[in-house]
Structure 1
Amino acid sequence: MQTLAGIWQSAGQGYFRKPPEILIRAFSLYTTRAAGNERAMRYTLPPSHPGQVIGLLGGSFDPPHAGHLHISREALKRFGLDRLWWLVSPGNPLKEQGPAPLGRRMGAARALVDHPRIDITDFEAQADTRYTAQTLRALIRARPGVRFVWLMGADNLAQFHLWQDWREIMNTVPVGVLARPGQRISARMSPAARVFDHARLGARQCHRLGQMDAPAWCFVNVPMMAISSTHLRQSGAWADATQK
Structure 2
Amino acid sequence: MFLQDHISEFPILSAIIFLPLIGSFFILFLKNDPETQNQDSKIFALWISSITFLLSLLLIIFFDRGESSFQFVETRTWIQDLSINYKVGVDGISVWFVLLTTFLVPICILASWETIQDRVKEYMIVFLILETLLVGMFSALDLVTFYVLFEGVLIPMFIIIGVWGGSERVYASFKFFLFTLTGSVLLLVAILVIYSQTGTTDIVEITQTPISEN
TM range (shorter): under 0.3
The TM-score with structure 2 as length reference comes to 0.25
Per residue, is there more strand in 1 or in 2? 1
TM-score of the two chains, using structure 1 as the length reference: 0.23
- The higher radius of gyration belongs to 1
